[in-house]
């Protein structure tokens, strides 16, 4: 599973950081950025929670099901 934060939409509420500090961090500009775009499986629940609780709906998930690497 991959995660992205849309910097255009993020409003810096830091909800995501509270839920998954291993995955999100606050950029100098006050908005969230992703530390690791590939979400470790043990953090998927926390990241899904962040997605649903982000007040701006700025976080999006993509399944990493592409079979690029065979
Ligand atoms: S919860 Fe949403 S709006 Fe708040 S910092 Fe995270 S991505 Fe940005």
Distance of CA 68 from the midpoint of ligand 1 (Å): 30
Q: What is the pTM of this model?
A: 0.88
Is 3's pLDDT higher than 80? yes
Query: How confident is the model over 5-57, as pLDDT tens digits?
Result: 999 999 999 999 999 999 999 999 999 999 998 999 999 999 999 999 999 99
Is 4's pLDDT higher than 70? yes
Cα–Cα dist 41/44, whole Å: 5
Range 2-62 classified under CATH 3.90.1640.10:
no
Distance of CA 15 from the midpoint of ligand 1 (Å): 6
Helix residue ranges per DSSP H, 10-58: 15-19, 44-53
Is 69's pLDDT higher than 60? no
Is 70's pLDDT higher than 50? no
């Amino acid at each position: 599973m991959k995660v992205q934060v849309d910097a255009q939409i993020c409003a810096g509420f830091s909800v995501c950081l509270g839920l998954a500090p291993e995955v999100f961090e606050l950029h100098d500009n006050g908005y969230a950025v992703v530390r690791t775009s590939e979400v470790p499986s043990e953090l998927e629940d926390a990241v899904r929670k962040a997605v649903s609780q982000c007040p701006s709906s700025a976080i999006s998930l993509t399944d990493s099901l592409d079979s690029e690497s065979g």
